Chain A
Amino acid sequence: MNSSLDSTDTGQTPLHLTPGHWLWRSTTRHWSLLINKRSIVVNATLTLILLACALSSLALGTLSITIPDVILALQGKGTTMHTFVLEELRGPRLLAGALAGASFALAGCLMQTLARNRLATPGIIGIDNAATAFAVASVVGVGISAAPHTMALVGAAVATALAFGLAGATGTRGYRFIIAGLAIGAVSGAITQVMLSSVALDDANAAYPWTVGSLNARAPAAVNALIIGLIVGYTLSLFLNRALATLQLPEPVTASLGTRSGRVRVAGLILSVLLTGLAVSVAGPVGLIALLGPELARTISRPGSIPLTASALSGAILMVLSDLAGRLVFSPLEIPVGIIAALAGSPYLLWILLHKSPDINR
């Protein structure tokens, strides 16, 4: 994205300082647009990969449909059977998965950037678990009647507020915050288990896939809320992008560039919590997507940039792929997407923890 700091509006744009960019200027020279070539290439590639994954996800399953048939059915010319499978079963599921994955990864990228720590993702600091606990409370009906996705949002907000309150301050590199979140996550997980063990066995079995993260139990209302939330959240995060980039610089430099770091932090955190809460209400706690998506995006993006778009795309790809794998590997038995993500992501997370620096810029 156009996060370069060197395009000051002196009228004399230092072209030699921006190699690898396309510069577009309006004829009146009042404003200009600086586009990074690598970002374009990366995002275009990721979009193509996402489309390919989406097509495979539509085509593969218990009933395999060939790609041409899928395209025919999407145009409304397929058989009734194919149209039913695509429009009623796989299409909505794909949409929910891609959106949830994008939200998780975008939220993760924002939070990692704010904390300058790649471990600071919503899942690790317990927001996922808390959102799940609140949503389960609403499902099993413990005295609360709000819709699950509203409760998930409330849970995410409560967990964040608690983590901040308990940690006192963010501290150096946010470690206190992370451990506070770990404790909150543990208690929330325990509370979820209490609620599940106190309801009837059938209800517990029904709610179980959802508590490990699954695209089976999504509610249409939650998906709609997620669509709106993701559009709003993504747009706002693009506006934050430049300020976030300056936050990576030492504090005095940030201040002298005119960034109000306090406000940016609060705004970024609110966005991150909002996106996580909405995504949890659709897919359950698939927290590792929030770690893996941005990680993948950072690996392929321009060094030093904040790959918000690439993170969202990577998250969507990973989610769709995990769900597809979960549906295919032990077919007809279906493995919840959260388990697949955990199996694939945990070893990588362990490797980061033990071998890499947690600082995202290294």
Chain B
Amino acid sequence: MKTYRNYVATWVMLFLACLASLLFGAGTLELGQAFAVLTGQGTEDARFVVMELRLPRLVIGMATGLALGVAGALLQTLTRNPLAEPGLLGVSAGSAFAVSLAILLGASTATLTTLISQVGALAGCGLVVAATRIQGAGQDPVRLVLAGATLTGLLLSLSSLLMLIDQRAADEIRFWITGSLAGKRWDQLTATMPSLLLAGAIVVGVARPLASLALGEKVAMGLGHKPGLIRLMVIVAVALLVGGATALAGPLVFVGLVVPFVARSLAGADIRKTLWLCLPIGPAMIIAADTLSRLLVTPSEMPLGVITAVIGAPVLMVIIRARRIPAL
């Protein structure tokens, strides 16, 4: 009964966030106007604002939040580390560096950027999982996070180096690297969608084996699963999700930490229940943050990455301040 209430509550939250995202912005629409547009009527102006500006942004935000939230939950369960977040561990930085390199070399088509971003994320994700397999350091959540922060710093320095080489590329990279949903178009979403769907299919297949892997490697093997294969599939899924999200919105830190944290505190340790709850919570967080980013400094915008960092840092503190870091 309680879980049922949680599901309803989170979906209602998502619905409210979407509504706010469509209604509020530089020019506020009346509720009636927005509905009129959605049902196929409405003035020309309102139509333009909703259909061309806010709706793509809303949908892309939903995809980003979904991808990052699910990726965070998967990575945390796989590494048994509640702090394992794609942004903190350097997965996002890996894809950010790859995209910076591509922008510098003159890439512009959205498809190419998505693919490159996912390759970068795959490399980052592989490094992280390899690090967790090291005896001693890998079992220590905090050391892993620090290693991730270092890797992120290294990759960002490399990106800065690229920015020094070409001023034109530098402007493009600097805007993209803070993370933002502003000015996104439908074709960027269609370029990313196939890989996100593929990742979704992998997640559906791997959720059950992963839940058994959480009970221990031997238990998973006893239940007829192959730990190595599960691990590989999860890495691929996380790379596809994070790479796709980064290509869409830039590297966003802390989303993959906050969303699974909230979901886990509502649903308990079972990864399958957590994943179900990540579905509404991830998009809701991004959309709420994006709406805030438009409202705080109207008529200009705050970068989305800043809002998620400001939301995420206190959550990190809450996790750390817990008497002991909960083992997954």
Interface size class of A (residues with CB under 8 A): 35 or more
Which of A43-51, A88-96, A102-110, A190-198 lies at the interface with chain B? A190-198
Interchain nearest-CB distance for A117 vs B (Å): 11
Please tell me if the beta carbons of A194 and B306 are within 8 angstroms of each other in the complex. Answer: yes
Please tell me if the beta carbons of A353 and B150 are within 8 angstroms of each other in the complex. Answer: yes
Interface mask (A175-209 → B, CB under 8 Å = 1, otherwise 0): 11011101110110111011001100100110000
Which of A225-233, A310-318, A344-352 lies at the interface with chain B? A344-352
Please tell me if the beta carbons of B157 and A354 are within 8 angstroms of each other in the complex. Answer: no
Closest to A354 in B: B137
**Complexed CA–CA distance, A167 and B317 (Å):** 8
**B303, CB-defined interface residue at 8 Å:** yes
Within 8 Å by CB of A353, from B137, B174, B316, lies B137
Please tell me if the beta carbons of B300 and A193 are within 8 angstroms of each other in the complex. Answer: no
Main secondary structure of the interface of B (DSSP, over half): helix
**A212, CB-defined interface residue at 8 Å:** yes
Main secondary structure of the interface of A (DSSP, over half): helix
Q: List, in ascending order, chain A residues with CB within 8 A of B175's CB.
A: 197
**Complexed CA–CA distance, A212 and B143 (Å):** 24
**A324, CB-defined interface residue at 8 Å:** no
Q: List, in ascending order, chain B residues with CB within 8 A of A191's CB.
A: 306
Closest to B297 in A: A198
**Complexed CA–CA distance, A187 and B315 (Å):** 12
Interface mask (B218-256 → A, CB under 8 Å = 1, otherwise 0): 000000000000000000000000000000000001100
Please tell me if the beta carbons of B146 and A124 are within 8 angstroms of each other in the complex. Answer: yes
Q: List, in ascending order, chain A residues with CB within 8 A of B302's CB.
A: 194
**A61, CB-defined interface residue at 8 Å:** no
Closest to A342 in B: B157
**A343, CB-defined interface residue at 8 Å:** yes
**Complexed CA–CA distance, A198 and B309 (Å):** 18
Q: List, in ascending order, chain A residues with CB within 8 A of B157's CB.
A: 212, 338-339, 342-343, 346
Q: List, in ascending order, chain A residues with CB within 8 A of B253's CB.
A: 186
Please tell me if the beta carbons of A353 and B300 are within 8 angstroms of each other in the complex. Answer: no
**B33, CB-defined interface residue at 8 Å:** no
**B154, CB-defined interface residue at 8 Å:** yes
**B10, CB-defined interface residue at 8 Å:** no
Interface mask (B132-143 → A, CB under 8 Å = 1, otherwise 0): 001001100011
**Complexed CA–CA distance, A335 and B165 (Å):** 10
> Which among A336, A338, A347, A349 has the highest number of chain B CB atoms within 10 Å?
A349
**A333, CB-defined interface residue at 8 Å:** yes
Q: List, in ascending order, chain B residues with CB within 8 A of A220's CB.
A: none
**Complexed CA–CA distance, A124 and B150 (Å):** 9
Please tell me if the beta carbons of A166 and B317 are within 8 angstroms of each other in the complex. Answer: yes
Q: With A119-B146, A353-B143 in contact, is A193–B306 under 8 Å at CB?
A: yes
Within 8 Å by CB of A343, from B83, B158, B164, lies B158
Interchain nearest-CB distance for A356 vs B (Å): 9
Q: A180-B320, A354-B138 are known; give 6 further A-B pairs, CB within 8 A.
A: A175-B142, A179-B145, A193-B306, A333-B164, A350-B150, A354-B131
5 contacts between A and B (CB under 8 A): A175-B142, A180-B320, A186-B309, A193-B305, A205-B170
